[in-house]
Amino acid sequence: MFMKRLLLSAMLIAATVTTFAQGGLKLPSLSPTAKVSQEFATSSIDITYSRPSMRNRKIFGDLVQYGNVWRTGANSATKVKFGEDVEIMGNKVKAGEYALYTIPGKESWEVILNTGTGNWGADGYSKETDVLRFNVKAIRMEGMCQTFTINITDLTYNTCKLELMWERTRLQIPVKALNADAIASSIDKAINHTTIPYFQVANYYNENNTNLNLASEYVTKALEQDPKAFYMWWLKARIEKKLHHNEKAIEAAKKSMETAKGSSFEAEYIHNNTKLINEIQKGEFGTDKKTY
C-alpha cells in the first residue's frame, strides 16, 4: 500500500510539472520582478530587482532585521549595472554589474556592492567578494511606501541619485559618472569633423558651466548656419549673461523672442527671455536656474 501511495504521489508530481511546462501556467508573484533602465551620462544604469510589499507587516526592525545583511528586495540578489565607471561616496566603481546588498540600521544603512550577482538573496553572500561598502543616512518619509521601490532621480549630465524606498524609510545614494576625459576626447573629434555639432557642444558647456567663451563661439557659429533657430538664440542669451556680456545677452534674448513668434513655443520663449532680460537689468547674474 505504501509503495502504491508513493507511486501515486510521484505520478501526481510528474503530472503537475508537465501541466506547468505544457500549459504555460503563470501565477502572480507577491514580489514581482522589476527592471529599471535609465540613460545616464554617456551610457546607462540598469537595475533588476524584486519588489516585496508590506502587506500589513512591520518591515524594518522586524521582517528585515537591523544589523543583518539584506538582499535589498526579494528572491534573487538585486543587481545594478553601471555602463561606465562611476564614483560613489568618493570611491571609484568600475563599469559592470554588481549585487546590491544592504545592512539596515535605525539611523543609517551600510550599502554593499558585491560580485555575487548569481546569489539567491543573501544566501551565498560573502564579505570577501565585496567591492565597496559605505554608509548612507536613513531618511524618514512622511508618507508610507507600501511596495519596495528603487528609482534613479535628480539626473544631471553626469550625476544622479540611486533612491531606495520602503515603509517610511528612504535612502539616496549619490552617483557621479567618471567620463570627463572621454567626453573631452569625443568633443575634440567632433569639432574636427566635417559636420561640426556646434550647438550640442555649446549646450553641454553651458549646462556644466565650463568653457563658456568657447560655448559663446560655438553657439554663434551654429546660429550662422541656422539664424532662425529661436532655441539657439535662447542658449546664446544664457551664455552671454553668464559671461556678463549684457548687451549681447539682451540682444540674443530679443532675437529668441522674435524668431519664436508663430511657433508653438512662442509663449514659453517670451516668458523665459523676458525673465532673463529683467534679471540682467536688476543686476542678477550667475548660473542658470534650471527651470527650462
Distance, CA of 269 to CA of 139 (rounded, Å): 38
Q: What is the pLDDT of residue 144?
A: 98
Q: What is the pLDDT of residue 12?
A: 39
Q: What is the pLDDT of residue 6?
A: 38
- In this structure, what DSSP letter does residue 122 have? T
Q: Which amino acid is at 138?
A: A
Encode pLDDT of 47-77 as tens digits.
999 999 999 999 999 999 999 999 999 999 9
CA distances from 143 to 56, 139, 168 (A): 15, 12, 7
Q: What is the pLDDT of residue 15?
A: 41
73 forms beta bridges with none
Span 180-281 CATH architecture: Alpha Horseshoe (1.25)
The grid cell for 278 is 529683467
All structural domains of the chain with their residue ranges: 29-177, 180-281
Q: What is the pLDDT of residue 289?
A: 46
Q: What is the pLDDT of residue 285?
A: 62
- Judged by DSSP in three states, 243 sits in coil
CB 232 within 8 A of CB 226: yes
CB 157 within 8 A of CB 207: yes
Ranges under pLDDT 70 in the chain: 1-23, 285-292
Q: What is the pLDDT of residue 286?
A: 54
Q: What is the pLDDT of residue 194?
A: 72
Whether pTM exceeds 0.85: no
Q: What is the pLDDT of residue 284?
A: 72
Q: What is the pLDDT of residue 184?
A: 85
Tell me the HSE value of 122 on the side-chain side, using a 13 A CA sphere. Answer: 13
Distance, CA of 155 to CA of 262 (rounded, Å): 32
